[in-house]
A and B are shown apart, each in its own frame.
Chain A
Amino acid sequence: MLQVKGIFSGNRRSFLIHNLLAFTSLLLGFKTSNLSADDVIDKTWLSALVDAIVPPDEDPGAADAGVHERIAELLEKDTHRRKLYAQGKTITDRAIRENGEVSLQEMTSDARTRLLYELAVLRPQTDDQIMYRFLLQLRYDALRFFYASETGQEMLGYRPPIYGYNS
């Protein structure tokens, strides 16, 4: 299947890659996260994070559907994914401090969405594009769990095939 693009279109990625060297000095302070699994699986942080992908409005958001719980379960089992989330958390928390904010949880859903987009797409990255990869993974996890849930399906008036379409 075609990769999802849109805001993550190939030419922007190329642009970022080509400009990496010019911004290397900005990245010298970055180190791989030392966060523990407990830090990453902090469900308050995760619930704020998933609401940046599917925010609550007149319909429930991702956290209302328990998406953060499902992701926490995944992170307990999947060390690669946990490492990526930990790296994403490190970068996100630092940016929040630099912006003078208290925490992700204190921000509005729209502000969180803007912050993640800015960090992943607009700012220069490390050579393996950690924030970009983190946002892609988070987006994938949150959308999958939200729209597979009864909450997400109800929002769209979707009835799964097990209940029958011919009746």
Chain B
Amino acid sequence: MTEEFDVVVVGSGAGGGFDAMSLTESGLRVLLIERGRQFQQGEYPMVHPDWEIRPLPFAETIEHEPSIVLEQGSFLKPGFDHLRSRILEDPALSTNSRRLPFKYHRTFGLGGSTLQYQGEAHRFSPDAFQPYSAFGFGIDWPIGYTDLEPYYERAERILGVAGDNTNPFKPARDAFPTSAHKLSPASQLIEKSAAKLGWSLQPNSLALPTESFDGRAPCQGSGGCAYGCIYGAKSSVDLTAIARALRTGNLTIRTKTRAVSLDSDRQGTISGIVCRDQHKKQFVARGKAYVLATGAIETPRLLLASVSEFFKNGLSNNHDMVGRYFMESLFVSLDVLLENRLDPYKGVPIDSRIWDTAVPDPKRHGRSGFVLGVSGTAGGYHGPTSYALLTPGLGTAHKNTMREQFGSVVTLLGIADHDPGVDNRITLSDRHDEDNVPLVRINSSLSHNDLAVLEEMLESCRRLMAAAGVVKPLRLLSAYDTPISSHVGGTCRMGSDAQTSVVDSFGQSHTVPNLFITDASVLPGQGAGDSPSLTIQALAMRTADRVSELFKIRKL
């Protein structure tokens, strides 16, 4: 490829897609590089009645080219063994002494992880931008809520976010683009129990429009967001931001193409991105500016792997900050058996949240706030097959249990910020993949405060369960021993100080002036339990505005 673009964007998910949209709409010519391919709705498993046993098309590559060196997890702290993931009817706890190895679930495809996300579209609360000031936890961001508010509003308009603007735990705002989803029967049940505890259950804000939006069908409540929306209703980035970018005529997309390293020159800038296409043919993509948006693991991997005589420790890593402050998902989920069959797998995956626990509290100083949620599917109970595999036993007993319990399991969730320790980090392995890119190692452990928050979240879920008169708890899954990767962040975090951060508040590298990052790696915190995608999208548009401005004043 000899054509030179204004900007080369690597990764087409929440950050890359919105960045490409804003850049092209400002008149810049953009090359968007995506490792996966574009998918059509007819390819997703749910178009088939036996969808549960069909593979996810955008996740299949994971098995063929795992990029993570699975290492033994960190040692468990015996005093917290009540947090072990387990079937609750079985009195036996597992005897593992370590956490399970970290498994990283990636999505390859145009739209990135938004192909698989459940549509949660949260504005982080103002306190979440100042976690140290508000909670005595983590680090304050170099920007605040008001800096992102106009970008949040724009992202919501593009996505057709459905929500209720009377949520008292969020700043006052205008109406959402589409009205909130009605609470499911399971959420209505938990709403009553929350009220007994003095909490208020709020409808979740979701990029799952409740009305026809931008020529797309409204959400059909299939509960299958994680499998790819067969109705094209979910506002994934391929159908929203990238579609808009294509309409400008300024966007070129190279799918099935992988960025393997970044070339730099003696001026200390990036001169090109070395890419390989599906036929393993190598080429260099060139632009005046480069945006990385490949996520909190792949972005530091690419930077650390881009070693040159000018950047001996990897790009933008002068102070050994790339890869540090890795944050995993600090979560608990409690699957509970309801008295009646409510079929909670129907509807949207997480239709309600409780934010009462996300506000600063002097008694909890030093600990993250957290958000509770109700989900029909988060525990993995999507349909008959997943129910069957999660139900213990064999033979007649198993079959009877299936008849009794199918459609009656709901999951109560708690999600918080992972304490971003400096030694929680991504490093490179000595091993390389088929494109000769080093594999990555993830070193992640939980602090005492993290464990205390897990305890609080579990206790909150138990109280909700008890107040709801639920029949019994079935299964506990917790980050104590089971790390998950759904909201990973950090690793190239933003900050004002070049010694302790990788990029500035606009996502621009402190040391490589034509390098920008717009993915979860720049997040200094995780929003006290809110989902990060809308914040990544807002930050990406803010970064794009900065890039456009620099082009206008010829600084790029």
Contact = CB atoms under 8 A, between A and B. Distances in A.
- Residue of A12, A53, A143 contacting most chain B CB atoms (<10 Å): A143
- Residue of B89, B393, B394, B406 contacting most chain A CB atoms (<10 Å): B394
Contacts of B224: 161
Interface in B203-242: 220-224, 230
A28 interface: no
A11 B92 contact: yes
B95 A109 contact: no
Nearest to A154: B384
B46 A6 contact: no
Given A55-B396, A156-B402, A166 B220 contact: yes
Given A54-B398, A110-B395, A110-B396, A166 B221 contact: yes
A7 B399 CA distance: 15
B86 A5 contact: yes
A150 B390 contact: no
Interface string B518-549: 00000000000000000000000000000000
A149 B50 contact: yes
B399 A5 contact: no
B28 interface: no
A53 B482 CA distance: 29
B48 A158 contact: no
Contacts of A164: 220
Contacts of A53: 394-395, 398
A83 B417 CA distance: 46
A6 to B, nearest CB: 2
A156 B399 contact: no
A106 interface: no
Given A11-B92, A53-B394, A165-B347, A145 B53 contact: yes
Contacts of B50: 148-149, 160
A144 B53 contact: yes
A144 B385 contact: yes
B390 A4 contact: yes
Contacts of A11: 92-95
B46 A161 contact: yes
A155 B383 CA distance: 13
B346 interface: yes
A6 B517 CA distance: 45
B475 interface: yes
Interface string A1-34: 1101111111110100000000000000000000
B396 A109 contact: yes
Contacts of A117: 394
A144 B90 CA distance: 23
A146 interface: yes
A45 interface: no
Nearest to A140: B389
A129 interface: no
Contact of B406 (A1, A109, A139, A156): A156
Contact of A160 (B46, B388, B395): B46
B385 A113 contact: no
B387 interface: yes
A57 B93 contact: no
Contacts of B380: 1-2
Interface residues of A, number: 47
A107 B347 CA distance: 44
B477 to A, nearest CB: 5
B96 interface: yes
B556 to A, nearest CB: 45
A124 interface: no
Interface string B464-477: 00000000000101
B407 interface: yes
Contacts of B407: 156-158
B48 A147 contact: no
Contacts of A88: none
B399 A57 contact: yes
A52 interface: yes
A158 B475 CA distance: 23
Contact of A158 (B94, B230, B383, B392): B383
Contacts of A161: 46, 51, 220, 222-224, 230
A153 interface: yes
B42 to A, nearest CB: 11
Contacts of B96: 10
Given A6-B89, A7-B393, A113-B394, A156 B95 contact: no
Given A54-B398, A162-B48, A9 B388 contact: no
Contacts of A153: 49, 384
B395 A55 contact: yes
B384 A158 contact: yes
A164 to B, nearest CB: 6
A160 B383 contact: yes
Contacts of B243: none
Given A1-B477, A55-B399, A149-B50, 9 more contacts: A2-B86, A7-B392, A110-B395, A113-B396, A145-B53, A152-B388, A161-B222, A162-B49, A162-B230
24 contacts: A2-B477, A4-B87, A7-B394, A8-B392, A9-B92, A59-B399, A140-B389, A144-B388, A147-B52, A147-B383, A147-B384, A148-B52, A148-B385, A152-B388, A153-B384, A155-B402, A156-B403, A158-B406, A161-B220, A161-B230, A164-B220, A165-B220, A165-B221, A165-B346
Interface of A: 1-2, 4-12, 14, 52-55, 57, 59, 109-110, 112-113, 116-117, 135, 139-140, 143-150, 152-153, 155-158, 160-162, 164-166
The 3 lowest CB-CB distance pairs between A and B, nearest first, are: A6-B392, A113-B395, A161-B222
